[in-house]
Structure 1
């Protein structure tokens, strides 16, 4: 009996879901066979968080902080999430962007703790066995990638697993999705990144990417098998290449509970920032013209949601499309161009051609430029000064990440527009003092919306997620930006408020599901309170 008790206690200390380290009370230590296995005096939650923060403060490099936090996640999950929740602004950039980009690039060299599900093209026809091997009895949210287009870094192959792991940490920290009910997944079909193919430590398949029917069949097998085991699971497609991203969303959006964060989540958080900026400009959405540097998933996703918002506000859809223009690797997307991808066609207008972005700015005369092409420095002095000449308050959204891929930094945006820019970014930038003003730029970070979107959909057990849910999330987030935020140039609330924001967004999304007949769970009398109570708390 004694040996069994000791063995049980040791097992608990090795299980990140059950281990609470020195926080176990004396009573728990006696009941669980932990006496003698821990220092004798229990510590409070506050002491544990303070200890971890002190240790992290001694680590200089963000990648090293990320590895420390990964170790903590692997052995004491509740402490990891307490730290992330209580110090969100400080540690979210470590757990996710921009540091997650470096984590992915070095994933095969720093791999230590198996986490999630790995499916390769060699597993075709056997995916059920792999899914059955997953220890999670229940899964509410899956984030899956094939690693083809990780952030602005391109093809990362299996190394892209860092993205699902990071995203799901935010699902828990920001929206209270139970970590025991989350599953990161990477689908390895090879990589076209020659550096990884030559890397002796690379953990993925060493051949070029498999495409076509074999690829589609593997994705279908994955979808069917995870939904067979967990029928209500939400699948978030993440960082797929442009063609596959649009194809998968088109194939599955109205059939299963899923969404693509790069297309739809980015759209919602960007539109929310636009709504905040319009409060400063004291203008309507219908008065705006948008020019996108980039024409892939993020650009057309954002543009499409802006069109949906304009239509919802009473504008004819054909007219609404004219408010958004795209600039891709071949120049301004116009009606005279041939061979355009399907996602670009609605935004191909009768305009003169422009081969340089500055010429497109002069031609379109946008009120807002949106950078989503991972071209660092593309919003240069010439572009920013032209935007300032056209607009009293130019909207400058430099959304590419990580930081090394940003179209411009906050200081440049404010300086080159004489402090008149309304700025949002994809990566964090420090406060800026320009022209006698103090600015606090904030990220147009998807973590403001995708956790709340998932929370609402999971709570209501929605059957699928129409575009109206993303418009709802964008508007709900914009309501949470205070006048004090706007006065300092912040188009989003503090990241420290993201968990409270997720409750509001989750309730609004669930309400949309109930009102539109998409929910299969019973509606509670007090929806917001029920959503808040549903959230995991690391206690």
Structure 2
């Protein structure tokens, strides 16, 4: 049994001033706390008052992380009370500031597991030590090579895994004692980190190829051995590895890649929501993805799969997609194409001016897209001239600049509404304020993966699914996209973040039902709503 001091130091057990008089007697805590027993509501009021006194977003995050390290239940109770306010602080975009300062801000590892490519023999010991006897059901793992917006941050990127798991608990209700953040430290190519004497990771360049994949294989096998009921969520792996890893495991284990699948799901849901408003057909749309990395390809792939679901052949569906990267429009003879990009390239003989299609505006003029999604991290790339050219050829242009953080967004919502005279259907990757234009208040949806991945994965876990497949993903997108009110003037294409818990449950139940309908439940679950409700954890003492 844990000693009184161990209980007070354990964030999964500690209640602080919330321990009842009976618990204090039973656990040996008499005299170790002030005498008044506080309710969780009273504790939350005190903590929020202290939080509100912090002047910068990073200070607010550091304070909340201190609470997270001390008392998980109180942390998630408070987050549930202030979800819209806390989401950008504990997750995106402030998590980027936290990662960039990780070596200088480090205080505690926050129950994460750190796996080094230089010591593959320690994987099992590492995972056991980090789990500390807990029943792990969900693992978020990152090697932090491709953190959207800031790139390669080596071991410092563990904060992205910790932040993702916070959202899982706050949105879906996964028990925080059943999750495990994992850092795969394969080195880093970030010179700033390699030259920083305080850098906490391996001080060598990234390892690629056979040695890297052997480490991933050993890690996955060890997870399956130690935590056979767990789901494995891959996060922010580089574009050369992300697709390879997902394709190797997606049909074998319950796994998910948020950059490939999560970004695609939320964008598909946003497009479906937009089309509910515009009353247009999905199969009539032309998609231009600006930024053909992991996220951009993931988005194109899910849109393509939806085209086929709605009746188009593979050949017909591919005609609706255009990828634009730093070289311009991607053709089948473009050098250095990834496997994911090759599926959506065009032929030069389709265009009379193929050699001129080297920038976004030229491509927009040539193809007249109806949907344009930005994952480029090129700030301001959706210029007024680009947007007006697009809007000249479609009644309700669907425009999603989703690069983040804020400094990297392709265009701001107020400009997009103004440049299209209120016709654009907009979602952004960052939180955006309402836009007032010509007497209408336009609510801007946030194309944030947090809208979708907690419900998708929670539903699959609740139903004890063997895998997470495209049918479940499609069902989830339709569930989220169907929540918008198409008749409300200025309606958002995606539901607001402050209703995250409610619609996450809707998505989770939809995915769980899909698992049941496909006969993929390992435990023969038959009631989706009951399965989701039974798995939910509530932040209460």
The alignment's TM-score, normalised by the length of structure 2, stands at 0.95
Alignment of 1:78-89 (within 5 A): 78-89=73-84
Match of 1:395 in 2: 398
Is the 1:145–1:185 Cα contact (8 Å) retained in structure 2?
yes
Match of 1:385 in 2: 388
Q: Quote how far apart the aligned CAs of 1:512 are.
A: 1.5
Match of 1:170 in 2: 167
2:120 is equivalent to residue 117 of structure 1: no
| C-alpha distance in structure 2 between counterparts of 1:406 and 1:226, whole Å | 37
Q: Quote how far apart the aligned CAs of 1:279 are.
A: 1.4
Q: Quote how far apart the aligned CAs of 1:482 are.
A: 3.1
Is the 1:17–1:76 Cα contact (8 Å) retained in structure 2?
yes
2:403 is equivalent to residue 428 of structure 1: no
| C-alpha distance in structure 1 between counterparts of 2:296 and 2:43, whole Å | 43
Give the total of aligned pairs: 532
Q: Quote how far apart the aligned CAs of 1:480 are.
A: 2.0
Q: Identify unmatched segments of 5+ residues in structure 1.
A: none
> SS state of the match for residue 118, structure 2?
helix
Q: Identify unmatched segments of 5+ residues in structure 2.
A: none
| C-alpha distance in structure 2 between counterparts of 1:244 and 1:473, whole Å | 26
The alignment's TM-score, normalised by the length of structure 1, stands at 0.96
2:465 is equivalent to residue 462 of structure 1: yes
Match of 1:505 in 2: 507
Q: Quote how far apart the aligned CAs of 1:336 are.
A: 4.7
Is the 2:417–2:437 Cα contact (8 Å) retained in structure 1?
yes
Specify which of 238, 257, 262 is matched with residue 241 of structure 1.
Answer: 238
2:180 is equivalent to residue 183 of structure 1: yes
| C-alpha distance in structure 1 between counterparts of 2:411 and 2:197, whole Å | 36
> SS state of the match for residue 191, structure 1?
coil
Q: Quote how far apart the aligned CAs of 1:113 are.
A: 1.2
Runs (4+) of structure 1 moved beyond 6 Å? none
2:126 is equivalent to residue 130 of structure 1: yes
Is the 1:476–1:504 Cα contact (8 Å) retained in structure 2?
yes
> SS state of the match for residue 243, structure 1?
coil
Q: Quote how far apart the aligned CAs of 1:128 are.
A: 1.8
> SS state of the match for residue 503, structure 1?
helix
2:343 is equivalent to residue 346 of structure 1: yes
More deviation in 60-69 or 412-421? Answer: 412-421
Match of 1:9 in 2: 4
> Once the two structures are superposed, what CA deviation does each residue of 1:7-28 show, in whole Å capped at 9, x if it has no partner?
8333222111011122222332
Match of 2:139 in 1: 142
Alignment of 1:276-295 (within 5 A): 276-295=273-292
CA RMSD of aligned residues (A): 1.6
Is the 1:13–1:19 Cα contact (8 Å) retained in structure 2?
yes
Is the 2:455–2:508 Cα contact (8 Å) retained in structure 1?
yes
Match of 2:90 in 1: 95
More deviation in 91-100 or 301-310? Answer: 301-310
| C-alpha distance in structure 2 between counterparts of 1:195 and 1:336, whole Å | 35
2:209 is equivalent to residue 206 of structure 1: no
| C-alpha distance in structure 2 between counterparts of 1:420 and 1:489, whole Å | 12
| C-alpha distance in structure 2 between counterparts of 1:187 and 1:82, whole Å | 30
| C-alpha distance in structure 2 between counterparts of 1:529 and 1:490, whole Å | 31
Alignment of 1:254-269 (within 5 A): 254-269=251-266
> Once the two structures are superposed, what CA deviation does each residue of 1:280-315 show, in whole Å capped at 9, x if it has no partner?
111010111110101111111111111111111111
Is the 1:459–1:521 Cα contact (8 Å) retained in structure 2?
no
Specify which of 375, 379, 393 is matched with residue 378 of structure 2.
Answer: 375
| C-alpha distance in structure 1 between counterparts of 2:165 and 2:190, whole Å | 26
Q: Quote how far apart the aligned CAs of 1:31 are.
A: 2.5
More deviation in 26-35 or 387-396? Answer: 26-35
Q: Quote how far apart the aligned CAs of 1:272 are.
A: 0.3
> Once the two structures are superposed, what CA deviation does each residue of 1:167-191 show, in whole Å capped at 9, x if it has no partner?
0011111111111110000111111
More deviation in 331-340 or 445-454? Answer: 331-340
Is the 1:259–1:465 Cα contact (8 Å) retained in structure 2?
yes
| C-alpha distance in structure 1 between counterparts of 2:494 and 2:410, whole Å | 19
| C-alpha distance in structure 2 between counterparts of 1:67 and 1:136, whole Å | 28
2:296 is equivalent to residue 299 of structure 1: yes
| C-alpha distance in structure 1 between counterparts of 2:467 and 2:148, whole Å | 26
| C-alpha distance in structure 2 between counterparts of 1:316 and 1:136, whole Å | 50
